[in-house]
Chains A and B, each alone.
Chain A
């Protein structure tokens, strides 16, 4: 139980000494990606090996009170480099082993832990030179990143509050409580220029100011952890990897606006995040960092965890509030804004996980430090989840204003399988696509908005040349028509009809009128929808229409899919010069569309062909081609 700021500092010093007294520290990534690839087994094996070597005076007790312990094994939160998992990081040198399999554990143990020799075959290899790179910080994936929100992810044990405290945890809260008035905290955040990381990019300080000025005895802070964009996992990584940072951010917000209670609304589909947050809330309570009169100040704060019910729309703040209140998650008209009348009619601040995770660093280092990072109107960093046909999928945090080229090619390692870059879909179903011409566009709120996209929550799906943009638009529209809450007409009916038009176009039965109607409808859905979900839902359609119109036109005019993706528009043909007449295709064709005599070129009857592609996958000579 910490009763004062001094006691917090004492604990910090103690924890730091413990960490530095340890000669070696093995951190096994326990993010969802690595766990799915078997990292827990790797962790268990390390533990077993530690247990078998009592002569090394190594305790298998993983808790830090045993300071005589020289080597310890910990689970950590996500490192972000998910594609290379399971990841094992060995401190103090920061050696990073990639794709560690259970059978590799004994080798690492023998060589690295006991003999102090690096196992180079398990190191990351440079994309071009293929030479091994030992430490995490040297890997290009990490080298170009700047981690504020993700600073501790992968470096500390998320279940250990002392590890967090050792890394400056709860210092900014102490600073706010004992050195700053609530108004000064609001001003610091205003000056930092921090904008909401959940999508809209509304200045966080302005939001706080509204709530601070709103009348009301009871106010609430809500942490929006309902991350739902396909392919996005920034918030999950923070909640799993550094839960105390989120709680500290909420407390800063609470102190600033005069709230004494908060809710973390987290997806039920993130069971690990839910578990880590629960542990964090519990240990923070035990340490007196949550509860009454925190650190002996006059400030009290309580955090509740609410698991979401699985609807994408609950990431929209008014729908989220309705969901916490036990109602169906449907957005409500604004005004009144939640900062004035939110949860149970009380002034409420809703901030995204990443926004909150930035706050401790801002308060601790000052707004001046923060504004030096990023651009003039978009300060600080942004996390992006790299996905799609990119060489290194994973999580990155970079200063605002970094170009797309740097992220995709320098950090992400370019496209997989030497594919040629075509576009990225940024911001999930609410964002838009960026093309080759945007590669040197600085990624920040305003420049993205100018080209019809948005930062959104930060999902970034990289697409190569063999991607059909009509298909991409169709995919996202399918998502929206399922995830729309069904309340307002433009979003509910409009998304249904946009999907209908896109399906028609992709199937080759679309007309040029359909294309015009699609555009007209998209603009109206954008204009007329009730909430952010609907207002941004047409972005994928509008941006693909804007940058890849000729591809749409090929679908409706020439009935061709230039990328060769839309099945209905493909013609299957056998190249007679390549066909050996083996008859395998004829045998596997489920539609009896292939005919021919043995040892002579076969033929596909286009009338009968159902374009299933079975023949292509079976032909050993590459003789079946599509246009």
Chain B
């Protein structure tokens, strides 16, 4: 391995610049070798075999897992590599549910793209032999195992970045699948709906659950007033779906597009983001004063909230009771704005435009309702919104910018930066500094909490007290931070948690490619927009201040707690029937039949079956725990049966009834 020197790629001499593997150098040299399983942010997996190259020293190697070597001669395009790549694609296509025209991933599917690029014109093998059921149970994510190519990207993303491991491989050989623990439905496991697995899935195996039709139905229903809110991170990413660069500000076009589709009012989530900062900061200040429930954790990120409910029930009192901006918006619209329109809550349809997949889950939480109807009726991701524009044949790039409607259409720069990791914390700092420092406090750019780094720490002085702040993104990093706090290695007063890398700009509902480069660009534009924004601090937002006075008679009071706050309860990680460890009446009788080769050949399976039938017939099946076991080492005397640690040998299918009567059912009666 060498971190500098030169090597040769397809006849050209190229510098090694500290890359970890050949693939990065080859791509820098202008050869975009394809991969399914390589992601610079994840561990090297080496399974798709598309990046195989021929070398003079090592033969045929996977470029992704081979460290650079000084002087090595690499050829990327040879008869062998080309044939191999085509065959890999052909093999994958053979086992792939090829309903491409109706697949939601069509046009963005890497498999489809590579088949086309490599000129794979026919599939000479048979089709998939079995159609597996599609999992539609999650409010956020749809899993179609028939389209999975087993690249393992979702597995590693969930395990390495989110520290959860919801997905993993099960079974072997051609029966291998990616699935959840115990093959449970996605809604029944600890999935926090962040959608990062969807972001890395190259095919239509993992997709976002679409709510587009629900929104169209509302738009086309004359009795409904459709109200939209747009989250900050959407406006710097949606343009990518129409060929604009990552990070281009398309706020005005989104507003215009939504109006064109028939949305009645287009508002800004920034309005309630400012409310969130004000409520949360006041909550923080009260806790500081009482010196209780510290550190305070932010609660804007629904994935983090679910994670905390599942894995850290002990921290729930520390999580801010503030609803997220999306839910504050829904609540405010259904409880107050609807009245203004003389509408019942059910006649106002709130649709959120979000970079996030977990917001779909959050909107469906039972506590977020008004008069029995959900505060937020539908959540569209950035990608879904672009899809909606496409369905309406809107020429997005040609749209003329439009402004948000009022009164919920104004937000400060402090709300805008909610879209990037560190933004909520910076916003709180701006508010608290303004509150304590008064009018003299000018613009505050709190740089230490900005950037893509996983864990960021900073401190700030308020009224002579130095507050220690932490900002974390990615749940694996969050877990790391929590264990640091628990071990006493670190202590903080306030912690911002965002589940997605880089914060909401890197959300699971953002366009492809959703990598670090794209995230940096999007966040960069958000801070640029904040720089030119006149309203800097939440308290600069006149409309928000007015709303607090008009609707709640102030901030952080009983009224705001009813409409803008919530409560949390610990949540099970795995749903479904509990495992019965033992019968409450008595310990079950343990009967295990040896299934080693010798006993198997002498009819062990028939013995098990016989025992099972007898137990059922005598109505004592519940009191007997019947199992097969590995070899009991009485091979010359099989079939062997272990009854409560006593081994009975010489059992045959013929005498099984007798043995059951004499040695098993008697014991059950005694119990």
Min Cβ gap B668→A in Å is 29
**B636 and A36 form a contact (CB under 8 A):** yes
Closest-by-CB residue of B relative to A328 is B169
**A492 and B173 form a contact (CB under 8 A):** yes
0 or 1 for each of A465-497: is its CB under 8 Å from B? (1 = yes): 000000000000000111111111110111111
0 or 1 for each of B167-205: is its CB under 8 Å from A? (1 = yes): 011011111100000000000000000000000000000
Min Cβ gap B84→A in Å is 5
**Which of A266-274, A377-385, A421-429 has 4 or more CB atoms under 8 Å from chain B?**
A266-274
- Number of residue pairs spanning A and B whose beta carbons lie under 8 angstroms apart: 127
0 or 1 for each of A308-351: is its CB under 8 Å from B? (1 = yes): 00010100000000000000101011110000000000000000
Asked whether any CB of chain A lies closer than 8 Å to the CB of B95, the reply is yes
Q: Which of B60, B87, B630 is the one whose CB lies under 8 Å from A271? A: B630
**Which of B62-70, B112-120, B360-368, B618-626 has 4 or more CB atoms under 8 Å from chain A?**
B62-70
Min Cβ gap B501→A in Å is 24
Q: Which of B48, B596, B598, B636 is the one whose CB lies under 8 Å from A489? A: B48
**8 A Cβ contacts from B127-180 to A:** 149-150, 152, 168-169, 171-176
Asked whether any CB of chain A lies closer than 8 Å to the CB of B633, the reply is yes
Give the total of B residues in contact with A, Cβ under 8 Å.
44
Q: Which of B47, B52, B91 is the one whose CB lies under 8 Å from A487? A: B47
Q: Which of A38, A486, A529, A530 is the one whose CB lies under 8 Å from B172? A: A486
Asked whether any CB of chain A lies closer than 8 Å to the CB of B522, the reply is no
Closest-by-CB residue of A relative to B124 is A517
**8 A Cβ contacts from B72-109 to A:** 80, 83-84, 87-88, 91-92, 94-95
**A492 and B49 form a contact (CB under 8 A):** no
Q: Which of A36, A335, A480, A500 is the one whose CB lies under 8 Å from B635? A: A36
Min Cβ gap A482→B in Å is 5
Asked whether any CB of chain B lies closer than 8 Å to the CB of A610, the reply is no
Closest-by-CB residue of B relative to A493 is B91
**A530 and B92 form a contact (CB under 8 A):** no
**A492 and B150 form a contact (CB under 8 A):** yes
Q: Which A residues touch B80, using CB under 8 A?
A: 527
Q: Which B residues touch A485, using CB under 8 A?
A: 172-173, 176
**B636 and A38 form a contact (CB under 8 A):** yes
Closest-by-CB residue of A relative to B46 is A333
**B635 and A32 form a contact (CB under 8 A):** yes
Given A490-B49, A490-B91, A497-B94, is A269 in contact with B636 using a C-beta cutoff of 8 Å? Answer: no
Asked whether any CB of chain B lies closer than 8 Å to the CB of A35, the reply is yes
Closest-by-CB residue of B relative to A503 is B126
Asked whether any CB of chain B lies closer than 8 Å to the CB of A355, the reply is no
Asked whether any CB of chain B lies closer than 8 Å to the CB of A570, the reply is no
Q: Which B residues touch A530, using CB under 8 A?
A: 46-47, 49, 62
Closest-by-CB residue of A relative to B638 is A36
**A484 and B174 form a contact (CB under 8 A):** yes
**B125 and A489 form a contact (CB under 8 A):** no
Q: Which B residues touch A11, using CB under 8 A?
A: none
Min Cβ gap A107→B in Å is 20
Given A40-B636, A484-B173, is A489 in contact with B46 using a C-beta cutoff of 8 Å? Answer: no
Q: Which of A40, A275, A486, A500 is the one whose CB lies under 8 Å from B173? A: A486
Closest-by-CB residue of B relative to A330 is B169
Q: Which A residues touch B66, using CB under 8 A?
A: 335
Given A488-B49, A524-B83, is A35 in contact with B636 using a C-beta cutoff of 8 Å? Answer: yes
Q: Which of A333, A480, A528 is the one whose CB lies under 8 Å from B88? A: A528
0 or 1 for each of A518-552: is its CB under 8 Å from B? (1 = yes): 00110010011110000000000000000000000
Closest-by-CB residue of A relative to B52 is A528
Q: Which B residues touch A38, using CB under 8 A?
A: 636
Asked whether any CB of chain A lies closer than 8 Å to the CB of B452, the reply is no
**B87 and A333 form a contact (CB under 8 A):** no
**B173 and A483 form a contact (CB under 8 A):** yes
Q: In whole angstroms, what is the CA distance A520 to B91 when docked?
A: 13
Q: In whole angstroms, what is the CA distance A37 to B635 when docked?
A: 8
Q: Which B residues touch A330, using CB under 8 A?
A: 169
Asked whether any CB of chain B lies closer than 8 Å to the CB of A293, the reply is no
Q: In whole angstroms, what is the CA distance A573 to B125 when docked?
A: 35
Q: In whole angstroms, what is the CA distance A485 to B95 when docked?
A: 17
Asked whether any CB of chain B lies closer than 8 Å to the CB of A39, the reply is yes
Asked whether any CB of chain B lies closer than 8 Å to the CB of A143, the reply is no
Q: In whole angstroms, what is the CA distance A328 to B596 when docked?
A: 24
4 closest Cβ pairs, A-B complex: A486-B176, A333-B46, A333-B65, A493-B91
By a beta-carbon cutoff of 8 Å, the part of chain A in contact with chain B is: 32, 35-41, 268-269, 271-272, 275, 311, 313, 328, 330, 332-335, 480-490, 492-497, 500, 513, 517, 520-521, 524, 527-530
Contacts A/B (CB < 8 Å), 30 sampled: A36-B598, A40-B636, A271-B631, A271-B633, A313-B172, A330-B169, A333-B46, A482-B172, A483-B172, A484-B172, A484-B174, A485-B176, A486-B169, A488-B49, A489-B88, A489-B91, A489-B150, A490-B84, A492-B174, A493-B91, A493-B95, A496-B174, A497-B91, A497-B94, A513-B124, A520-B83, A524-B84, A528-B60, A528-B84, A530-B47
Given contacts A487-B176, A520-B87, 20 further A-B contacts (CB under 8 A): A41-B636, A269-B631, A275-B633, A311-B172, A333-B44, A335-B65, A480-B173, A485-B173, A485-B176, A486-B171, A487-B45, A487-B150, A493-B94, A495-B174, A497-B91, A500-B126, A513-B124, A517-B124, A524-B87, A528-B49
